[in-house]
Structure 1
């Protein structure tokens, strides 16, 4: 795993199409218990070099019921966006993840994550790849019980931009989050 992570962190495959210098940002170890799959780093993550070190990360850690120390421990959490570098800004947010990244690295990484007991899926590109589905996030989030049976869960992106979605779908934080937190704690305490 360490050699693969070093190789990925040196990757420059997309240097000609990225708006900034390549800076692959990910976290993993062969011992990771929970896999978080998202879209791609935003500009803040690109600048800091730390995934989810922003308001979205605060909410995601709250949803998971973990602190920063736990979250940034690669033996506990793998954080693998669909694209490891910031893809640039689009009309209504960041551009989609660059497919070359997933095509080149995703399967190699996933085969090394043999201890993962839960996959947290954020965003439509991660949903498309991991669930082979184009169903809306609301529909898949509502299927949380069925997905948890397969050790997967779809969450809306924890960005403050989704506050309206959270207000419209109050069932999510009332029903899903407590169960998710319990599952995470069981996994982290090796009782999953």
Structure 2
């Protein structure tokens, strides 16, 4: 039976975890490294970091970077990609945006701008260098990382990543099993953007085989 001393110690640990997450959230919200000390051309607009940190979440969504709509809203996945991702996960907005259950940590916290063809630039490298190790160290309850896109897979999967994004996603079963054995379970996913509609049609196994496992894992961890 837990003693009052045990309970107070556990409460102190939780309070410190909450405080660390709050400090990180404040510091990230004020970050201007991509403008004032950029590792490549400066961000072409004012920074607006978008992420959801949590000391209690058991799932973290690890994506690329905010797009134009998210930059405008200041809330992650407020676009058709978010609608598709929520459908893949089998949850609605009320669960998806519950920070007590789901954290959202893209590789770049700010919208990186557009390239000459109108596509999004790569995530800013400053975020990974300054923040990601600290953020994940401060979220010890994470049990599953949903890893979306090549940049996130490079950071989170390491040697488990294949040469191509499609190859990585196709090996999702082995990657989930291996990373779970390492204590950092990760499930690689394609980006839920409309730009991947053709890939999804060519790979019906993703919907038939991967999504049921994804939904089962999500239901277990957010329940």
Normalising by structure 2, report the TM-score.
0.82
Query: For 1:98 and 1:10, how far apart are their aligned partners in 2?
Result: 16
Higher relative contact order (CA 8 A, sep 6+): 1
Moved more, 50-59 or 124-133: 124-133
Secondary structure in 1 aligned to 2:173? Answer: helix
Higher mean displacement: 48-57 or 10-19: 10-19
Could you tell me which runs of 5 or more consecutive residues in structure 1 were left unpaired when the two chains were aligned.
none
Deviation sequence 1:108-134 (CA, Å, 0-9, x none):
000011111110001111111111235
Q: Which shows bigger deviation, 91-100 or 152-161?
A: 91-100
Answering whether residue 132 of structure 2 is matched by residue 135 of structure 1, we say no
1:22-72 alpha-carbon deviations (Å, 9 max, x no partner): 100000111111011111111111011111011000000000111101001
Which 10-residue stretch deviates more, 22-31 or 91-100?
91-100
What residue in structure 1 maps to residue 63 of structure 2? 38
Q: Secondary structure at the match of 2:27?
A: helix
Q: Structure 1 residue 178 and structure 2 residue 216: aligned?
A: no
Q: Which runs of 5+ in 2 are unaligned?
A: 1-20, 37-41
SS in 2 for 1:157: coil
Partner in structure 2 of residue 119 of structure 1: 145
SS of corresponding position for 2:134:
helix
Tell me, in whole angstroms, the C-alpha distance in 2 between the residues paired with 1:134 and 1:85.
27
Alpha-carbon separation, structure 2, partners of 1:21 and 1:114: 32
8 Å Cα contact 1:128-1:134 kept in structure 2: no
Larger relative helix fraction:
2
Question: 8 Å contact 1:27–1:78 — kept in the other structure?
Answer: yes
Question: What is the alpha-carbon distance in structure 1 between the residues aligned to residue 69 and residue 45 of structure 2?
Answer: 12
Q: Could you say which residue in structure 2 is the equivalent of 1:100?
A: 126
Task: After TM superposition, give the deviation of residue 15 of structure 1 in Å.
Answer: 2.0
Contact 1:46 1:86 in 2 (8 A): yes
- Bigger drift between 154-163 and 92-101 goes to 92-101
Q: Could you tell me the TM-score, scaled by structure 1's length?
A: 0.95
| Rg larger for | 2
- Between the two proteins, the alignment pairs up a number of residues equal to 189
